[in-house]
Chain A
Amino acid sequence: MHAFDYIRAERVDDVLAALADSNTKCLAGGTNLLDLMKAYVEQPARLVDITHLPLREIQALPEGGMRIGALVPNSDLANDATVRARYPLLAQALVAGASPQLRNMATVGGNLLRRTRCHYFTDIGFSACNKRDPGSGCAAREGSNRIHAILGASDQCIATHPSDMCVALAALDAVVEARSASGVRRIPMDGFHRLPGTTPQRDTELRHDELITAVLLPASPFAERSRYLKVRDRASYEFALVSVAAGLDMQGDTVRDARIVLGGVAHRPWRAKAAERALVDRVLDDKALAAAATAATEGAQPYRDNAFKVTLAQRAVARALREASRA
């Protein structure tokens, strides 16, 4: 790890002032940032420790929603009684990620900014990575790409977004609240993470001068029937090959509304709107599940090592929906 300066911020305004310097980064849980700094992937000249800011509150809003401070640790959020009651999907996604130790450190704001696990991004021994070094190429396209994207990738980058929490937040129509010197901005999850396109160095729409202060959750109709299903190479403490956040709003046997978001398949949580449409106003039988599963991977473009993800994603969607309907 290169040497860097450290300052501890007590107020949000101190952080915003520090972020005027493009070589300054915020330190919260540090579980991803320090790891990447040890690998020399991230080389900030200065860290602003934001963990002492008053952004640790979990508020249940009267109209049924919630406001979650950006510095709430993943473990606290997963165990919060209101989250478990109103958003079991989010609680399930949170405990599916990382390890208990890492969840005690990792924060909601940090998890939103978690960077990809693409081997070629995280190892500077590989020179071609457009995300790390724009214009240098993409070693993953012709390389070992078993863990890479099958949806929404570009010629420039086929990396996947790694967070479980974000997949659930996308399914729950969460909104990210960010502050900068020019005020407060609310960014819906649907528009927070980006597809790589020609600028894969940018994971999200968050600007460098902005600080995530909270995540807002609207009241959800999916509390009774939801399921976060994570498929991975080992039973625990491992990232998703494919994951599915499924939520169902049912009237009897008929689907009134559905949410299907996939993780591990794209540069961002992948909302499968065609699959959702395939279910609305239908009885949730095997035919409907099969239709949704097929629609979920519409337009998939696998690479040499990850063709299995197409079938895996389809089966995971069907299983997550079936389990959600029985939840």
Chain B
Amino acid sequence: MNTTSLTSKGAARRRFLCGTGALTTGIAASACIRVGDAAAAPANAAAIAQAPGAPVPVRLRVNGHDYDLQLEPRVTLLDALREYIGLTGTKKGCDRGQCGACTVLVNDRRINACLALAIAHAGDRIRTVEGLAGAAALHPVQAAFIAHDGFQCGYCTSGQICSAVAMLVEARGDTISAATADVRRKGPVELTDAEIRERMSGNLCRCGAYVGIVAAVRDAAKRV
């Protein structure tokens, strides 16, 4: 529904009306004239596309599926996933990069979807919590979170799980963390509880289910 309403001419004009007050650049001024003409004349898709910040076509590849969306450049990857595609497994916590609830995998790396623009990730491989399980079974990290009670309310869980999936791959690849005693030492990471806690520190749990989360990650490390 959001996609439909945002691509309607009315919505684009509203955006244009907001925009002209705030923006004073030459770009805005010229777009102003063009879109003003378009508003009076029949719909002119090209002119609307040039209004500052107007929706543009964006193709996102999420969990192996392509989604063709019309998005304003300011739409975050998090909002695109939740509000435009309808994949609400990824959660909005702080929306400011301070909690990790929105963690998703982009080209196999974990990032905060709240501080990423959807348009900047056109062409990337995006994986959310909905894309982790196989046809027959949960991902080992998901199964471990259930087995070890790695949550209470569950709001941070999809972020924790996506984060842990990437973290276990990182740990197999000779990477360091702030808990690593000697950064010059090469070789596989020994995933002590201190390493797990540090490497998972980008995901906050307000319920304080950390004991279960660490146990789940420790267990999953043996299975992935």
Contact = CB atoms under 8 A, between A and B. Distances in A.
Q: Do A and B bind each other?
A: yes
19 contacts: A2-B74, A6-B119, A6-B120, A21-B26, A21-B27, A23-B23, A23-B24, A34-B115, A34-B116, A51-B120, A91-B176, A95-B180, A98-B202, A100-B170, A100-B202, A102-B112, A102-B202, A105-B115, A236-B178
A23 B157 CA distance: 39
Given A3-B74, A31-B97, A237-B202, A45 B120 contact: no
Contact of A88 (B174, B184, B198): B184
B73 A6 contact: yes
Contacts of A3: 15, 18-19, 52-54, 72-74
B8 interface: no
Given A92-B183, A95-B176, 8 more contacts: A3-B54, A43-B22, A84-B183, A85-B184, A101-B103, A101-B202, A102-B97, A235-B201
B14 to A, nearest CB: 11
Contacts of B176: 78-79, 84, 91, 95
Interface residues of A, number: 43
Interface in B172-224: 173-178, 180, 183-184, 186, 197-199, 201-204
Contacts of A85: 184
A35 B116 contact: no
Contacts of A237: 201-202, 204
A104 interface: yes
A27 interface: yes
Interface string A61-77: 00000000000000100
Interface string A244-270: 000000000000000000000000000
Interface of B: 15, 18-19, 22-28, 52-54, 56, 72-74, 76, 95-97, 100, 103, 109-112, 115-117, 119-120, 163, 166-167, 170, 173-178, 180, 183-184, 186, 197-199, 201-204
Given A81-B186, A236-B178, A236-B198, A100 B110 contact: yes
Nearest to B122: A8
A101 B105 CA distance: 9
Contact of B163 (A30, A31, A47, A101): A101
Nearest to B102: A101
Contact of B28 (A45, A75, A98): A45
A23 B25 contact: yes
A84 B53 CA distance: 42
A49 B115 CA distance: 14
Contacts of B167: 100
Contacts of B96: 35, 38
B71 to A, nearest CB: 10
B2 to A, nearest CB: 16
A92 B176 CA distance: 9
B100 A5 contact: no
B177 A35 contact: no
Contacts of B24: 23
Given A49-B120, A101-B111, A101-B112, A91 B201 contact: no
B117 A34 contact: yes
A99 B100 contact: yes
A233 to B, nearest CB: 13
B191 to A, nearest CB: 14
Contact of B199 (A21, A34, A84, A100): A100
A317 B18 CA distance: 52
Contacts of B53: 2-5
A6 B74 CA distance: 9
Q: Which of B27, B95, B167, B178 has the most CB of A within 10 A?
A: B178
Contact of B110 (A78, A81, A104): A104
Interface in A13-55: 21, 23, 27, 30-31, 34-35, 37-38, 43, 45-47, 49, 51
Given A3-B52, A30-B117, A45 B27 contact: yes
- Tell which of B15, B56, B74, B175 has the most Cβ of chain A within 10 Å: B74
Contacts of B204: 237
A43 B166 CA distance: 33
B139 to A, nearest CB: 18
Interface in A138-154: none
A5 B26 CA distance: 13
Given A31-B115, A84-B184, A95-B177, A101 B100 contact: yes
A4 B73 CA distance: 7
Nearest to B71: A6
Contact of B25 (A21, A81, A104): A21
A27 B199 CA distance: 26
Nearest to A4: B53
A96 B27 contact: no
